[in-house]
Amino acid sequence: MIILGIDPSLNSTGWSLVSKNDKANSFIVQDCGLISHVSGGELFPKLRNIYDRISDLCQNNPVEGMAIEQTIVNKNAESSLKLGMVRGVCVAAAFAAKVNTFEYNPKTIKLAITGMGNASKEQVMFFVNSMIDKKLEKVKFDITDSVGIAIAHILIHKL
């Protein structure tokens, strides 16, 4: 079973394809990466690119579920709205590919991965690397966060 983990962001959406290795009681990162854009620029081409990339991942891999981080509303309403739009295109892409979709609060994800709901990004990265077969080195937090989201989904649902 492969879970697509998504850490949504307008300029740097992290994604990963993660499965459980039952024999080693660990997780396998099948593939991972970033959907990156330069800050600034037009909104709709960025959203279209994110939609297309998530669609490709869902259609060209045996993805059985997508886990995505919930939006935390911050003081900047415009940023929160844009992040909601990113989440929307990710979910729409998964729906179009008939992939079941789940969302998780950041504290729930951190608690499942580290045992601490307020863990730092560095702590999440450390624990994710301790849970996977091959360490992720020199990658951005957006990628390790996406792996953590997928792992949290697998742990929460005992898959």
**Residue 132's pLDDT is what?**
97
User: Which residue is catalytic, options 69, 103, 122, 133?
Assistant: 69
Return the CATH number at 9. 3.30.420.10
Give the residue numbers spanning the domain of 14.
2-156
Give how many domains the chain has, as a whole number. Answer: 1
Residue 38 confidence (pLDDT) above 90 = no
To the query of whether residue 7 is one of the catalytic residues in this protein, the response is yes
To the query of whether residue 56 is one of the catalytic residues in this protein, the response is no
* 3-state secondary structure (DSSP) of residue 78: helix
To the query of whether residue 31 is one of the catalytic residues in this protein, the response is no
Instruction: Give yes or no for a contact between 147 and 132, defined as CB atoms under 8 angstroms apart.
Output: yes
Q: Tens of pLDDT along 54-93? A: 999 999 999 999 999 998 877 888 889 999 999 999 999 9
**Residue 136's pLDDT is what?**
92
Q: Return the closest-CA partner of residue 87 out of 59, 106, 112.
A: 106
| Residues in a beta bridge with 114 | none
